[in-house]
Amino acid sequence: MRRLIVPVLAVLAVSGAALGTAVAQDADDGPKKPSMHDLYHNSSLPKSHADFSRYRYRPPGDKVIEQPDAFRLLFQTKDGQPDGYAERRGTSVFYYDRYGKLRQIQPLPEDEPVD
């Protein structure tokens, strides 16, 4: 019986000491450092910009969210549910519904430069 109790107590003592050290390290960190997202929003780096004026279709009543890095517009309903997206491919703009099915294609005029 003693052979069983001594190793169990030793394991509990070591794990308790390790847990106490981990909690003490978390408490000594001081003020929380800013995340990468906070640093990006407060930086002086140039932000991406895209011209979405050629995207003609907007679902009625939807909120439009721009994603300039991907040349894409996201559409959301008033309650925040996704309602589709639009993205440019070559010389056309493709509009998709909330299920990812193609809704319509808008050809861009050839005299306008493509970004």
Report the C-alpha gap between 1 and 8 in whole angstroms: 11
Query: Residues 42-95: pLDDT tens digits?
Result: 777 666 667 788 888 988 899 999 888 788 999 999 999 999 999 988 889 999
Longest Cα pair distance anywhere in the chain, in angstroms?
A: 89
Report the C-alpha gap between 72 and 79 in whole angstroms: 21
Report the C-alpha gap between 83 and 98 in whole angstroms: 4
How confident is residue 2, by pLDDT bands cut at 50, 70 and 90?
Answer: low
- 105 phi and psi, to 5 degrees? -125, 130
DSSP-derived pairing of the beta strands 63-67 and 82-89: unpaired
Give the model's pLDDT for residue 113. Answer: 54
> Has residue 100 got a pLDDT over 70?
yes
Give the model's pLDDT for residue 62. Answer: 92
Give the model's pLDDT for residue 70. Answer: 81
**10 to 19, 34, 44: CA distances (angstroms):** 14, 40, 55
Q: Counting Cβ atoms within 10 Å, is residue 46 exposed (0-12), middle (13-18) or buried (19+)?
A: exposed
Give the model's pLDDT for residue 12. Answer: 66
Give the model's pLDDT for residue 115. Answer: 53
Query: Residues 5-47: pLDDT tens digits?
Result: 767 766 666 666 555 554 545 556 678 888 877 776 777 766 6
